[in-house]
Amino acid sequence: MELSHNTILITGGTSGIGLALAQEFKKRDNTVIICGRRADRLDEITLHHPGIITRVCDVADTAQREELVQWLVTNYPGTNVLINNAGIQLLTDLTNPCNLDRVRSEIETNLVAPVHLASLLVPHLRNQEDAAIINISSGLAFAPLSFMPIYCATKAAVHSVSLSLRHQLKDTPIKVYEIAPPAVDTELGHDRRDDKTQSHGGMPVDEFVKEAVEALQNNVYEVAVGQAENLRAKREQMFTVMNP
């Protein structure tokens, strides 16, 4: 993948992996556009990271996804890269009646949104040079944690969709990449922590971004970063280890 002179949309770009990718690609002379639900965070990013373009959008909302793409192709017709990064990670106890609003929110954000955005942008990306769709899945796509079954299932689905989309687009200029992170030191998963701003630890986000970008540069279409490689290579064994 060409790492400079692109116009890149990153969903879920207000924190964590999304923001770190935005900063890295901006340093590499790309036009970077991020979207997120929280206007206050986007305003803060505009203040502290001049040059990163922001747009308020809740990707869990169908109409807002459609409006985002219409705004994008109208105002930034050179857009040639979509990074589907937005995601939420919630606890779900399937041994009791579950809260379907939470289940639907997780599925809509983690799976439906990237599928829909990719389908909306493919007609535009077909006409762009060095076009790419980059899906952020997870090591948990291969070996799930049982206390967050919906999150893990959506990431397994993102992995499957990435394989299918790559095949469907094999005769087009659009490349499809999948990056599966390990546990990364971000706010993701704050649903299970009393302090919602606290990180769960894990791989430093800058280290993750370095490895992910290196894989993109080398046209590695599916990369499991760090400990995620163990989850992919030894999924049954790792499931037993993680779920005693």
Enumerate the active-site residues: 151
> Can you tell me the distance from the alpha carbon of 22 to that of 25, in angstroms, rounded to the nearest whole number?
5
> Can you tell me the distance from the alpha carbon of 20 to that of 221, in angstroms, rounded to the nearest whole number?
20
Helix axes 100-107, 149-168, angle to 10 degrees: 30
Give residue 125's Cα distance to chain centre. Answer: 18
Strand, coil or helix: 174: coil
Helical ranges in 38-136 per DSSP H = 39-48, 62-75, 100-107, 113-125
> Can you tell me the distance from the alpha carbon of 181 to that of 171, in angstroms, rounded to the nearest whole number?
28
> Can you tell me the distance from the alpha carbon of 162 to that of 135, in angstroms, rounded to the nearest whole number?
7
